[in-house]
Amino acid sequence: MAGIRFEKDIDYHNEDDGELTAAEPSTPRSRRLQSFVDEYGTYRPHLSRIDHIKRYLKKQFATFTFLCCLNSVLDKIPLLRCLKEYNIRKNLFGDIIAGIIVAIMHIPQGMAYGVLTTLPPIYGLYVSFFPVIIYMIFGTCPHLSIGTFAVISLMIAQALESVIQPSMSIINNNQTSSTFSNDSDLFLINEKIGTATTLALLVGIVQLILSFLRLGFLAIYLTEPFISGFTTGAALHVFTSQIPLIFDIKAPRGINGAFKLPRFYIKLISLLIHNINLVSTAIGIISIIVLYVAKYLNERYKSKIRIVLPCELILVIIGTITSHFTKLHSKHRVSVVGEIKRGLPSLTVPPLNHWNQLIVPAITIAAVSLSISISMAKMFSRKHGYKVSSNQELLAYGISNVFSSFFQCYPSAGSLSRSVVQEGSGGKTLLIGGFSSIVLGTVIIALTHLFRSLPMTCLAAIIIVNLKGLLFQMKDFMFYFQISLLECILWTMTFVSVLLFDVDIGLYVGMCTSFVINTIRTQKPRFVVLGQVEETGLYKSIVYFPSGHQYSKIKILRFDESLYACNAPFFKRKFYELIDIHLSYSPLISWGEKTQKNHKNEPTYKYVILDCSPFNYIDTVGVKLLIQIFHDLKKRGITLYLSECRLEVRHTFDVMKFYEQTESDTVYVTTHSAVMAARNALNNESVNNDETNELVESQL
Amino acid sequence: MAGIRFEKDIDYHNEDDGELTAAEPSTPRSRRLQSFVDEYGTYRPHLSRIDHIKRYLKKQFATFTFLCCLNSVLDKIPLLRCLKEYNIRKNLFGDIIAGIIVAIMHIPQGMAYGVLTTLPPIYGLYVSFFPVIIYMIFGTCPHLSIGTFAVISLMIAQALESVIQPSMSIINNNQTSSTFSNDSDLFLINEKIGTATTLALLVGIVQLILSFLRLGFLAIYLTEPFISGFTTGAALHVFTSQIPLIFDIKAPRGINGAFKLPRFYIKLISLLIHNINLVSTAIGIISIIVLYVAKYLNERYKSKIRIVLPCELILVIIGTITSHFTKLHSKHRVSVVGEIKRGLPSLTVPPLNHWNQLIVPAITIAAVSLSISISMAKMFSRKHGYKVSSNQELLAYGISNVFSSFFQCYPSAGSLSRSVVQEGSGGKTLLIGGFSSIVLGTVIIALTHLFRSLPMTCLAAIIIVNLKGLLFQMKDFMFYFQISLLECILWTMTFVSVLLFDVDIGLYVGMCTSFVINTIRTQKPRFVVLGQVEETGLYKSIVYFPSGHQYSKIKILRFDESLYACNAPFFKRKFYELIDIHLSYSPLISWGEKTQKNHKNEPTYKYVILDCSPFNYIDTVGVKLLIQIFHDLKKRGITLYLSECRLEVRHTFDVMKFYEQTESDTVYVTTHSAVMAARNALNNESVNNDETNELVESQL
């Protein structure tokens, strides 16, 4: 069976002078692309753009039934599917346990990140409550823990500072600042909360717009090296922001612009010398060490003890109790959380007064939150085999931000550390969020006042220890350095620009870098000379296959990238170099041996075959260049053959009238057939030459 | 001969159980990539980055001789080579004629573009003189006419306005503006000239830096559709700027920001109603028509009359004489050129006082001037077969701008219209520039005062008629629309952003668009199912080759683009779709027929072969995805084979430890050998199944 197949294979390569040659006497059948397509292919007319649109609409309308519409509306609420397919016996217990564990993590993290946004800690708890409920209804990833997240909290703090600082300075100028200190503090906090909720509303609107425009696919441009570099840099900013809390000093303010971090540290050190609170520092450092060790042990012996220890909550409880009974605040001036409003916030419309200043931060925050959340959701979906839709996720984030903004919440996003716990604690469905919210709601309504003695330094310790994962991404640099230089450059550019400037500038620099890198990647591809490997029909690089056979007067080349405007100049230069045509000048001054002038000599090669298999597309510049090279080579007595052109390339050839401008037998199906055609032509030529010589001789 | 070759070809495909199978009993020889490489290939260790650098330096030092250095220094002065190889009899006459013709074009154009920059017309003549001399020494393209250019002049005017306007308003506030009107005008002009020369110095420095860093290759990012869209949009701005001169009214000033052009026209119309100078308008419109017709006739009958008529100079002379004798200025208040300084400017150091405001415009102007000049030079080099080096061109532009800035010149660039004339008038070498400068120098020293009665409207007419070529690029839109949607988008984005905003914003938007487009292009490539065409070893898309044979339980796929982060999600989705594995959910509500659940069924295919020939590179995300798909398919009882992986891909596979993470026989040399391996395996399986069945039966 296989034997026959291969005999036929010979036929194909060898059917030079078969029965069909009568119709096309000059060239062997099937070798040239056009005849190959004519014989085996089918004619498919190129649809115009309008026909394409018509066909698409027709297809859409064909599936447009009531049931279909209803289903697609219901598909926007994944909770329904979850409830429909819910298996109480299998899932309920796991979901409840996971919900409780995540809620327990939410409490300290919520308060800590609330502090990070420079708002009172209770607002972090709100963000751990409302968005989670909405995400449960509209989200698609059961393991993603929506709520407070370090990088986003930092960006909110920056946005608040940039908006509030100027407006406060105006107010301060208008009134004598010393007298109404307490009132002004209250005013400041109210102003901040209003701004933060406006920001949440705007972020939600941006996400909803992206979702309605079905732009969720944009998340793919936020590639892994970019996200890794970005979050690592941001984590260093978050880490820096927590240091003043550990030492219990007032953070240096108003440091903006380039090289923010080093300037911050310089200012910090001068502040530290005078103001350090040793008790608070001791508590903070002990908390960090204990928490780190506890988490490490927990991680290590997880398989044995089979439960996730709520280390952070234990720290918070111990910290609160210690602080309460040793009167840390009154005796040692350690900053504590202080009096907390009790109960859920009432419905309040975001004030919107700074909305125009907040649009740019809102877009940036929306971009960061979607990039981090969606990449996490995709990671879990890969691991567990459920489907996560970017557009549905965007819808969920959008609705949860818009809804929550009416309940005094700042923008929310998925948190890496909580999500990992949520995944590990055995929950399986979206209901985890519901159970978590029930626990958290109870805490917010009834128990918040218990935390008023909690030292702030404990909260800072929780944030710092949670940054471990993000900071350890630093080793991704080495990974990319070893494997891919361009991805390493992307990582470094993003990381360094986040570090030196700021989170938002880093985002934009990173985005631009990733687009530029996609172009650079195609700039200087390998341009290889091919040789026939032994007696097979395969042509491989003669550098890696030195036994590859090169025929005299035939050069076979392959350019390992699509030919287009940005690499066309490189292609041209290298192409001539490889076929020994020197476009460069001879040296101006030379003595001794005369340099050989190849310019007017007989060309080394009579046939050049370009293997176009790497061309995934070709643009107008590329086609023009090929036409120009074809004619230039013809002038020099060299024939150019192309082989293995793919559909996309052939289509561009068609519309650019390539065949009309060159010759019809330029394109061959395989490199091997092009080589055969060239060898035949060379044989014929030498026969003809002999004949001519004979003729000349006979005429003599 | 060919017959033997093809028999060997069979051998290769068929050598399943040859002599070497003893060593590797399980798999046939040569089919798997690794054994193929082992047999025919050579081992080349991957050099580390440091070794690469070492090798490069060694190579550089090997060629480091005195003669070499001398030659490379001398190569920086292409005039020397030109003089060395100069053929007086062949070239001199043509060069002199071309020099004179171009000088004659320089005079009216220089003055007209001088006006366009809002400086007195004489400064345009300076720019037509000094840079040309320097370019003759350092430039590489004999046909490129350096000097004044419309788009650059417009950008200079904008830069001057943005710098001078604020500083003038401060001065105006300090003194009563009405009294010292004349003094203030003189002051304004001096200020403007100082700023323009500073700008030229900065542009030159930017170009020199680019040249020293050998960044001339950056010009390739300024692709044809971009330059076409950009210059077309800029030409509309230039056109608009000349309209007030035609009607002889004061141009509306201070219009900035978005939608500049429509707002300009609205203001213009309201100004026109009251202030139009009918005499001037009549002269302007007649000049435009006459010049247009004359140029058209000149172009049409060029082959017959064989000389280029200096239409513009004739217009200038006729305009001047008419204006002088009919006293247009004093009688009809037609604006004329007025008194002109005589003689060459003395050496003056650019004042540098606004340098920090001028850096951004300088970078923009440098980018535009290099993109337009280099693309023109490359065009001529293609046509005439001489070599143009981007870095040398940059050096020439840089030196000429820096040098000229000390002689009261504003930034220069190549002009399309003059270059075409310079090419057509028969000159062959760089000396054209020298002869042109001699003529121009004479004019500047002795004849400028003759032009004082020349109406400004004539100069405007010259600019407008010269814009024809740039404005006619509008039809490039249709060209790109028909051929390539993405290039059309690039053209449109650049054009529209230049038109709606401004030249510099358009430049940046266009640049960003071209990078984004290079990414978008690779987003959703064709993903085709392949079938074996008749009995050949070729596998083609079954859509275009419907006779292509598909084997049962084997699916052959090809993804027509390199697999990397940005198209990995699309790859994954489409891949599963094509092998009939449904990752999407069944509809939530359904009645009537139950939808078939494919999830737990036997997979349709047992072997999936991915033809990797279109992969020019693969990044870490792509390799991870392939590994993940490999394992996922294995779980479902499907085997994944890859074929035709190119060197670049194999290298990434190596460093990412692809083979360790999958199985060693995953990668095959050709698609055909992978298919054969799959078919063999299927045959063996069915035999084994039969045996198992027999075994079971016998046990029964």
Q: Could you report the per-residue pLDDT of A64-89, keeping only the tens digit for each?
A: 777 778 877 888 888 888 888 888 88
Q: Chain A interface, mutation test: which of B228, B491, B631, B646, most A Cβ atoms within 10 Å? A: B646
Chain B partners within 8 Å of A585 (Cβ): 75, 81, 387
Mean pLDDT value across residues A365-378: 84
DSSP B172-229: HHHS-TTTTHHHHHHHHHHHHHHHHHHHHHHHHHHHHHHHHTT-GGGGGGS-HHHHHH
Please write the tens of the pLDDT for every residue from B497-528: 988 888 888 888 888 888 888 778 777 888 88
- Write the Ramachandran bin of B333: left for phi over 0, alpha for psi from -120 to 50, otherwise beta: left
Mean pLDDT value across residues A581-590: 67
Interface touch A519/B521, C-beta < 8 Å: no
pLDDT at B199: 93
Q: CA–CA separation, B347 vs B337, rounded Å?
A: 25
Is pLDDT of A199 > 90?
A: yes
Chain B nearest-CA residue for A588: B71
Mean pLDDT value across residues A236-241: 85
Nearest-CB residue to B646 (from A81, A560, A570): A560
| Domain B527-582+601-695 bears CATH identifier 3.20.20.70 | no
Please write the tens of the pLDDT for every residue from B128-142: 999 999 999 999 888
Mean pLDDT value across residues B156-171: 74
Neighbouring C-alpha atoms within 13 Å toward the C-beta of A266: 6
Identity of the amino acid at A494: T
Is pLDDT of A700 > 80?
A: no
Nearest-CB residue to A223 (from B584, B616, B621): B621
Provide the β-strand partners of residue B549.
B532
Q: CA–CA separation, B670 vs B610, rounded Å?
A: 11
Helices (H), B213-333: 224-247, 260-275, 278-300, 302-305, 311-326, 328-332
Mean pLDDT value across residues B628-638: 88
Please write the tens of the pLDDT for every residue from B485-500: 888 999 999 999 988 8
Please write the tens of the pLDDT for every residue from B260-300: 788 888 888 888 888 888 888 888 899 999 888 888 887 78
Interface touch A6/B10, C-beta < 8 Å: yes
Kindly give, in sequence order, each residue whose CB lies less than 8 Å from that of residue A561, ignoring residues fewer than 6 positions away. Answer: A522, A525, A567, A614, B616
Token pair belonging to B349: 């150091």
Q: Can you point out the beta strands (E) in A106-255?
A: 146-147
Q: Can you point out the beta strands (E) in A560-664?
A: 607-611, 639-643
Mean pLDDT value across residues B195-213: 92
| Buried b or exposed e, range A573-606, using 16+ CB within 10 angstroms | ebbbebbebeeeeeebeeeeeeeeeeeeeebebb
Q: How confident is the model at residue A11 (pLDDT cuts 50, 70, 90)?
A: very low
Interface touch A670/B538, C-beta < 8 Å: yes
Mean pLDDT value across residues A215-241: 82
Please write the tens of the pLDDT for every residue from B226-250: 888 888 888 888 888 888 888 888 7
Mean pLDDT value across residues B160-174: 66
Helices (H), A248-389: 260-275, 278-300, 302-305, 311-326, 328-332, 355-384
Among A252-266, B177-191, B242-256, B453-467, name the most confident range: B453-467
Q: How confident is the model at residue B29 (pLDDT cuts 50, 70, 90)?
A: very low
- Smallest CA-to-CA distance from B427 within B679, B50, B82 is with B82
Is pLDDT of B632 > 90?
A: no
Is pLDDT of B59 > 70?
A: yes
Whole-Å CA distances, B267 to A190, B214, B275: 47, 46, 12
pLDDT at A610: 92
Mean pLDDT value across residues B313-325: 87
pLDDT at B495: 92
Please write the tens of the pLDDT for every residue from A634-654: 888 888 999 888 888 888 888
Identity of the amino acid at B595: T
Please write the tens of the pLDDT for every residue from A152-194: 988 898 888 888 766 655 555 554 444 445 667 778 888 889 9
Q: Which CATH architecture fits A527-583+602-699? A: 2-Layer Sandwich (3.30)
Mean pLDDT value across residues A55-60: 81
Token pair belonging to B318: 């006729």
Provide the β-strand partners of residue A559.
A527
Task: Please indicate whether residue B450 or residue A603 has the higher confidence score (pLDDT).
Answer: B450
Mean pLDDT value across residues A541-547: 80
Is pLDDT of A14 > 60?
A: no
**Portion of chain A with pLDDT greater than 70, in percent:** 84
Looking at chain A, the number of H-run helices and the number of E-run strands are 29, 8
Interface touch B522/A647, C-beta < 8 Å: no
pLDDT at A196: 92
Interface touch B540/A42, C-beta < 8 Å: no
Please write the tens of the pLDDT for every residue from B369-403: 887 888 788 778 777 777 788 888 999 999 999 99
Mean pLDDT value across residues A624-631: 89
pLDDT at B135: 93
pLDDT at B541: 83
Q: How confident is the model at residue B21 (pLDDT cuts 50, 70, 90)?
A: very low
**If you count residue pairs, one on A and one on B, with CB atoms under 8 Å apart, how many are there?**
255
Q: Confirm whether pTM is higher than 0.90.
A: no
Token pair belonging to B138: 């350092």
Q: CA–CA separation, A42 vs A44, rounded Å?
A: 6
Nearest-CB residue to B546 (from A10, A42, A560): A42
Interface touch B81/A535, C-beta < 8 Å: no
Among A194-203, A239-248, A685-694, B684-693, name the most confident range: A194-203
Mean pLDDT value across residues B622-646: 88
Q: Which has the minimum average pLDDT: A331-335, A458-462, A483-487, A690-694? A: A690-694
Is pLDDT of B30 > 90?
A: no
Q: Which has the minimum average pLDDT: A30-44, A453-467, B273-287, B539-553? A: A30-44
Q: How confident is the model at residue B590 (pLDDT cuts 50, 70, 90)?
A: low
Q: Which has the minimum average pLDDT: A163-177, A502-516, B466-480? A: A163-177
Token pair belonging to A391: 């557009």
Q: What angle do CA B133, B139, B144 make, to 5 degrees?
A: 85
Mean pLDDT value across residues A299-310: 73
* Cβ–Cβ under 8 Å, residues B578 and B586: no
Helix A568-578 crosses helix A620-635 at what angle (to 10 degrees)? 20
CA quadruple B603, B605, B606, B609: dihedral positive or negative?
A: negative
Mean pLDDT value across residues B88-106: 85
pLDDT at B468: 82
Q: How confident is the model at residue B26 (pLDDT cuts 50, 70, 90)?
A: very low
Interface touch A5/B569, C-beta < 8 Å: no
pLDDT at A9: 36
Q: Map out the domains of chain B as residue ranges.
A: 78-173+182-471, 527-582+601-695
Mean pLDDT value across residues B1-10: 33
Interface touch A13/B8, C-beta < 8 Å: no
Provide the β-strand partners of residue B540.
B531
Q: CA–CA separation, A307 vs A292, rounded Å?
A: 17
Chain B partners within 8 Å of A519 (Cβ): 221, 514-515, 518-519
Q: Which has the minimum average pLDDT: A25-34, A329-338, B84-93? A: A25-34
Q: How far apart are the first and last CA of chain A?
A: 59
Kindly give, in sequence order, each residue whose CB lies less than 8 Å from that of residue B238, ignoring residues fewer than 6 positions away. Answer: B116, B150, B151, B153, B154, B463, B467
pLDDT at A175: 46
Q: CA–CA separation, A86 vs A84, rounded Å?
A: 6
Q: How does the average pLDDT of chain A come out, rounded?
A: 80
* Cβ–Cβ under 8 Å, residues B120 and B189: yes
Helix (H) or strand (E) holding A394, with range, is: helix A390-405
Interface touch A568/B220, C-beta < 8 Å: yes
Task: Please indicate whether residue B112 or residue A586 has the higher confidence score (pLDDT).
Answer: B112
Chain B nearest-CA residue for A569: B220
Q: How far is A316 from chain B (nearest CA, A)?
A: 40
| Buried b or exposed e, range A515-534, using 16+ CB within 10 angstroms | bbbbbbbbeebbbbbbbbbb
Is pLDDT of B482 > 50?
A: yes
